[in-house]
Chain A
Amino acid sequence: MSVFSIEVGLAILGLILLALEAFMPAITRRTLAGISMGGVALAFLLFLLVNKSATQMPEFLQPYQQLDTLAVFYKGFALVITFLVLWLTSQCAGYLTKYTVDGRLSEMFSLPLIVCPGMMWMAGAKDLVTVFVSLELVTVSFYVLVAFARKSALALEASVKYLILGALSTGILVYGIAWVYGATGSLTFEGIAKALANPETVKLPVLLGAALLLAGLGFKVAAAPFHMWVPDVYQGAPIPVTTFLSVGSKAAGFVILTRVIDTFSIQGSIIAPEVHGLLLIAGALTVLLGNLPAIFQTNVKRLLAYSSISHAGYLLLALSAHGSTRLDLSSGGVVAFYLATYLPMTVLGFLVVAILRINGGGEDVSDFRGLAKRSPLLALIMTIALASLAGLPLTAGFMGKLFVFLGLVDQAAWGTLGCAVIGAAAGFYYYFKTILAMYSSDASSSSQPIPLNLWTKIGAIVLAVTIVVLGVYPRPLQSMLMTAPATVSAVAH
């Protein structure tokens, strides 16, 4: 068995679940959730097992798919986040059904199973066509997921915005791919890199292609100035879908960006300086445009949306440190590290918002008032998550930021570093604002205790512990992401 058969199996399971309800209308939500979560969990276990033995994709896939350290990491990442999103969906089911047309949620459990293989294929893509196909698999499924709560006006607005801008960005991306192909004569990363290292390649068309490509990907990962859609879409989409967008979709975008930047910045590349400058500017801009407007947000979902933008900025800055040899991690490794720290804190943040929604609360910062009294556990894990998002030491978030800052200092990008510091300082304000709200209470705030079921407790504690462990003992994660000399050996211990 190979990793590929797991991916295909997952997609087939998704299709079966999609059709299942048509033939078995009596099937319950619980069964559906059980099957889909069980499927992903099984896939993850098999993935861990297969990883040890099969280190190659099957032969017919080898021109299109690779299985290097990063690919393996992101494939595992996709499985984990898909599982968490399905879990979150089953938690939110109670209130989500109010907003769907038929009061059912079946597609919410089957579509993620199709998104997941898409993200996994993206992680291993070796050429731009594979990238494009798997990206579309992900994005088209997301169009449906975002629009799922059809009875909510905000969700409709979100889905229209996401559809239009998503389609536009796809167009720009394809246009960029076409230019790159025209200029370099190749669609594989390897071929493009070879052509770029050749000084005889004409610069301008490649540069245009690269810029369009980066703009298209910028839309996907919510990088400024293509980030305008994010707050509205995040606010309108159902909470599990927002989580999926914020973590899964972003990770998928960044694995492609990592590959693309690695290609564009190859030794002797004719466009390396321009790409580097572009990354620094876009990164600094994203950090500022994410963090500064976040100060004024009162809706926690919007706040987390802006926070998600700002993290995209830090990730771009991590990518800009391409070629820095001072750290054992490549720039792509730092991005992967950052995303691994970003996953638990973001999921935890949205989980708490979701639990408040389930218990009839709103999504405003003021709805968080008195949370410490209503549920000390939730308040504590949310404090940990927010502290980590703010980048306080001893949490995972600080480790990620430390790598980014080290990279920036190492390349002496002082202006950008200044922007990153300003962003981080602003972050202190809006994350702490939420913390303060949780612990303060007054007459107007609800004091009803929040009931938590066992699985929520376990899940939340596991995520919170992950944040702290990654913050004080990140060594295993780092060695997992260490650049290996060959594409294979790193995986096969």
Chain B
Amino acid sequence: MSPLEIVILLPLLAALAIWLGAPARATSVGAAVINLLIVLGLVFGFQTASAGKAGFAFESARIVLDNPAITFGVGADGVALILTLLTSLVTLAAVWQIGDDKPGIYHISSLLIAAGALGAFLSTDVFFLYAFHELALIPTFLMIGLYGHGEPEHRKAVAWKTTIYLGAGSLILLAGLVWLVLEFSGGGKLTFDLQALRAQAALTPLPVEKQAQIFFVLLLGFGTLVSLFPLHSWAAPAYATAPTPVAMLHSGVLKKFGLYGLLRIALPLLPQGAQVAWVQETLLFMLLGNILVIGLVTINQKRLDDLLANSSVMHMGYIFLGLAAGTEIALRGAVLLMFAHGISIALLFALAGRMRNQLGTLELKKLGGLGEHAPAFTVLFAFGAFASIGLPGLANFAGEVMVFVGSFMNYGSASFGALQWSVVVSLWGVVMSAVYMLRAYRNIFHGSAMTGLFMRDPALSQRLPLIMLAAVLLIVGCCPWLLLNLIKSDLAAVVAP
């Protein structure tokens, strides 16, 4: 049994145990800690395990269907491992910060979402990669619909909107994947195995125009899941409404699934598809929508949760930029940014959730002066906010710089094309981030406190997971090579020709 299978199964078993009556908090935190330790072990052992191997490390495969060939296959390369690490970090923080007064379903849903994300990141079979992501659909739906913030009518509406968007996106995605499988199986046996598909793609690439068509379908499917403009409108209300652990896990981890899918399935199998002019221009248009339109929308938000939710949508634009450029530096930057954004947004949502619990409101106008009463809290928030802006020394900076530089170079092309213009324009997004984040920070922590709205620092045991996330931001920000060294040749195959 591969350790990766244990990593996937552990949260599922923990969820089952809680449902059967095990103490919720102890079980879920315990499972998350063990998972994190295993993943850290895998990260440290990765260099030896993957030495001399082109494909995946820690792999195992169990055939579940003969034709179409479907295997429950797991395996990790650097990219998968980085996202697994992200998932286990955020999961631990998310289940840790759930209050004792919350019902067990909080823990069960968090664990199910985590298991779905882990399974999706670690599967080497397109079928299970897709299937695991869907595992998170029902928990997300129930948690937003039942325990979301706001009026019952409002949260029900948000739950439906999210589910319909995600469900429709998944169906489009499924159509694209089935199309891909049928095209690459060329008359022979159908297979969902990623390695077999890659081999077939290397052997007999599809005609460029067909690549572009399939890529576009996949882009729509995956894009909906990542809240790519203009398919984004579910995301901001969902995160603002969702209970804190769900918001942390969904915006921090699960949303990366769409990007991961593009990186893992669409780009390697359809290398030229992404570079066809009409596809790339559409993608650039969409991601600029994310950065500029949603950036302006974010500046205009009046409440902290709405602001964070929208900023999370906005930041997806940078990662898409890295994918659209397709140079190795940009892609590495995109992976790093996926990690960094996941950690920083999870930290911010955790802090916002705490504020909502203690103050009862997140309206920026009503807040102020919290810095005096809760210094530790302020510092933690500063870490998240500054990382989100892209302050050097914190993880997001390295990722953003790599994306910008990598996209600007665009494999040595001398011309100043659409891509380069997009980089120039999207640099303004950084300014917008600074505007809304700093303004929120000033509003909340400086100035004079409104009467009645005081909050204390969380107890040390409650601070630990948050400190952990902040420390990760700092460590990865100062030493990004710790993660980047994990990515060896994985992305070389993906780099645009």
A interface residues, Cβ below 8 angstroms from B: 326-328, 376, 380, 383, 387, 392-394, 398-399, 402, 405-406, 409-410, 417, 421, 424-425, 428-429, 432, 435-436, 439-440, 472-475, 478-479
Contacts and interface: CB of A to CB of B under 8 A. Distances in A.
A23 to B, nearest CB: 49
A380 B18 CA distance: 13
A115 B220 CA distance: 50
A393 B127 CA distance: 9
B64 A328 contact: no
Given A327-B67, A402-B178, 15 more contacts: A387-B138, A393-B131, A393-B135, A394-B131, A394-B134, A399-B65, A405-B174, A405-B175, A417-B175, A424-B171, A429-B164, A436-B141, A440-B146, A474-B64, A475-B64
B162 to A, nearest CB: 11
Contact of B178 (A393, A409, A429, A440): A409
Given A436-B142, A472-B72, A425 B182 contact: no
A376 B141 contact: no
Contacts of B127: 393, 402
B67 A328 contact: yes
Nearest to B131: A393
Contacts of B163: 428, 432
Contact of A421 (B132, B164, B171): B171
Given A380-B19, A440-B145, A475-B66, A398 B131 contact: yes
B72 A383 contact: no
Contacts of A398: 131
Given A405-B174, A405-B178, A429-B164, A376 B19 contact: yes
Given A393-B130, A405-B174, A474 B167 contact: no
B185 A326 contact: yes
B132 to A, nearest CB: 8
Contacts of B437: none
Interface of B: 19, 63-68, 72, 105, 127, 130-132, 134-135, 137-138, 141-142, 145-146, 156, 159-160, 163-164, 167-168, 171, 174-175, 178-179, 182, 185, 187, 190
A393 B131 CA distance: 5
Contacts of B65: 399, 474-475, 478
A394 B110 CA distance: 18
A405 B172 CA distance: 12
B218 to A, nearest CB: 15
Given A406-B178, A436-B159, A383 B68 contact: no
A153 B493 CA distance: 69
Contacts of B138: 383, 387, 392, 432, 435
A58 to B, nearest CB: 35
Contacts of B156: 436
A425 B163 CA distance: 10
30 contacts: A326-B190, A327-B190, A328-B66, A380-B19, A387-B138, A392-B134, A393-B127, A393-B134, A393-B135, A394-B131, A394-B132, A399-B65, A405-B175, A405-B178, A406-B68, A406-B178, A406-B190, A409-B178, A409-B179, A421-B171, A421-B175, A428-B164, A429-B160, A432-B141, A435-B138, A435-B142, A436-B141, A472-B72, A474-B65, A475-B66
A428 B167 contact: yes
Contact of B63 (A327, A399, A475): A475
Please provide the 7 A-B residue pairs with the shortest distance between their CB atoms, ordered closest to farther: A393-B131, A328-B67, A428-B167, A393-B134, A473-B64, A394-B131, A475-B65
B182 A436 contact: no
A20 to B, nearest CB: 44
A425 B178 contact: no
A474 B62 CA distance: 12
Nearest to B174: A405
Contacts of A327: 67-68, 190
A396 to B, nearest CB: 12
Given A392-B134, A406-B178, A472 B171 contact: no
Nearest to A433: B160
Contact of B137 (A392, A429, A472): A392
A473 B63 CA distance: 8
Contacts of A409: 175, 178-179, 182
Contacts of B146: 436, 439-440
A234 B480 CA distance: 63
A456 B406 CA distance: 61
A387 to B, nearest CB: 6
A380 to B, nearest CB: 7
B314 to A, nearest CB: 28
B142 A439 contact: yes
Contacts of B141: 432, 435-436
Contacts of B63: 475
A406 B137 CA distance: 23
B176 to A, nearest CB: 11
Which of B67, B135, B138 gathers most chain A CB within 10 Å?
B138
A376 B15 CA distance: 14
Contacts of B179: 409
Contacts of A328: 66-67
A421 B145 CA distance: 25
A410 B67 CA distance: 14
Contacts of B145: 436, 440
Contacts of A392: 134, 137-138
Nearest to B145: A436
Contacts of B190: 326-327, 406
A389 B167 CA distance: 15
A401 to B, nearest CB: 9
B66 A479 contact: yes
Contacts of B66: 328, 475, 478-479
B72 A425 contact: no
A393 B173 CA distance: 13
A376 B108 CA distance: 13
Nearest to A427: B167
A474 to B, nearest CB: 5
Which of B132, B156, B190 gathers most chain A CB within 10 Å?
B190
B444 to A, nearest CB: 33
Contacts of A439: 105, 142, 146
Nearest to B181: A406
A475 B66 CA distance: 7
Contacts of B160: 429
A421 B156 CA distance: 24
A472 B142 contact: no
A472 B182 contact: no
Contact of A472 (B64, B105, B178): B64
B320 to A, nearest CB: 25
Contacts of A417: 175
Contacts of A410: 182
A399 B182 CA distance: 16
Contacts of B131: 393-394, 398
Nearest to A431: B138
A382 B23 CA distance: 24
Nearest to A408: B178
A150 B160 CA distance: 41
A174 B142 CA distance: 50
A436 B132 CA distance: 21
Nearest to B156: A436
